[in-house]
Amino acid sequence: MLPPSEFSVDLALSEWLVACAVTLVAALIQGTIGFGYAVLAVPVLSLMDPRLAPVPQILTALPLSVWAFAREWRAVDWRGAVWVLCGRVPGALLGALLLAMSTQRTLDFLIGASVLAAVTLLSTDLRLKRSPWVDGAAGMFGSLSGHVSGISGPPIALLFRDASGPVLRATLGIIFTLGILLTLGLRASTGHISVQDGWVAAALLVPMLIGMRLSRHLHGLVQGRTLRRALLTTSAIAAVGLIGRALVGTP
- pLDDT, tens digit, for every residue of 51-106? 999 999 999 999 988 988 998 899 999 999 999 999 999 999 999 999 888 888 88
What pLDDT does residue 157 have? 80
Could you tell me if residue 232 is inside a domain?
A: yes
| Alpha carbons 189 and 192: distance in angstroms, whole number | 8
Could you tell me if residue 1 is inside a domain?
A: no
Q: What is the four-CA torsion angle of 173, 142, 37, 18, rounded to 10 degrees?
A: 150
| Alpha carbons 96 and 86: distance in angstroms, whole number | 17
Confidence of residue 218 (pLDDT cuts 50, 70, 90): confident
Handedness of CA 168, 174, 176, 177 (dihedral sign): positive
Beta-sheet strands, E only, within the chain: none
Could you tell me if residue 6 is inside a domain?
A: no
Could you tell me if residue 7 is inside a domain?
A: no
Highest mean pLDDT among 12-16, 87-91, 98-102, 149-153: 87-91
Could you tell me if residue 146 is inside a domain?
A: yes
More confident residue, 248 or 139: 139
Tally the domains of the chain.
1
Nearest to 157 by CA among 147, 146, 57, 148: 146
Type of residue numbered 241: G
What pLDDT does residue 148 have? 87
| Alpha carbons 15 and 21: distance in angstroms, whole number | 10
Interhelix angle 55-71/195-215, nearest 10 degrees: 30
Q: In a 3-state reduction of DSSP, which class is residue 16?
A: helix
Find the domain containing 226 and state its range: 12-248
Could you tell me if residue 4 is inside a domain?
A: no
How many CA atoms are closer than 13 Å to the CA of 96, on its beta-carbon side? 18
pLDDT at 221 over 70: no
What pLDDT does residue 52 have? 93
| Alpha carbons 127 and 124: distance in angstroms, whole number | 9
Could you tell me if residue 63 is inside a domain?
A: yes
Could you tell me if residue 244 is inside a domain?
A: yes
Confidence of residue 108 (pLDDT cuts 50, 70, 90): confident
User: Out of 3-7, 41-45, 113-117, 182-186, which region has the weakest mean confidence (pLDDT)?
Assistant: 3-7
What pLDDT does residue 220 have? 60
What pLDDT does residue 163 have? 83
Contact (CB, 8 A) for 197 and 1: no
Q: What is the mean pLDDT of the chain?
A: 85
